[in-house]
Amino acid sequence: MENEYFNELMVLADLALSSDDIPASAIIIDQDQNIIAKSYNNRMKTKTICGHAEINAINDAFQIKTTNNLKGCKIYTSLEPCDMCFGAIRQARIDEICYVIDNNKNTVTKSFALNSREVILKKAGTREQEKIYQTKLRTFFDDNLR
């Protein structure tokens, strides 16, 4: 994964950690490789089930682009998206999902189609990036499961 995107994901993950939430983060990139939206998990803070990083970033992108069609965009995430977020990504018509580490609790297939539209899902994190992010996840779960 490009260092610029990975570094931004880690900054956002730290923001989630600092608000006692799972350090998951997402950024959405347009066709020109510009970051158009970014967010992190705020589910615990807002006490809403939909406070996942991907959904927050998609909602922000809709507002910025004044459309609910993000065709041609990619979403980069720290953690492989859950089923709910996959659904939101499909509905937003995002073309590709790149993530740092697998979601071992809630994983889906590596590509899927909606209305004959394929969305590519690929693990893009390097081993070093995975280790950095795994440390953040461990910090959250170690602190919150005691």
The model's pLDDT over 104-117, given as tens digits with 9 standing for 90+, comes to: 776 665 555 555 56
Select which of 4, 54, 80, 130 is catalytic: 54
Tell me the β-bridge partners of 71: none
Instruction: Please state, in angstroms and rounded to a whole number, the distance separating the CA atoms of residues 126 and 3.
Output: 10
Residue 112, both tokens: 């899927």
pLDDT digit string, tens, across residues 73-93 = 999 999 999 989 998 999 999
Res. 2 pLDDT band, cuts 50 70 90: confident
User: Residue 4 catalytic?
Assistant: no
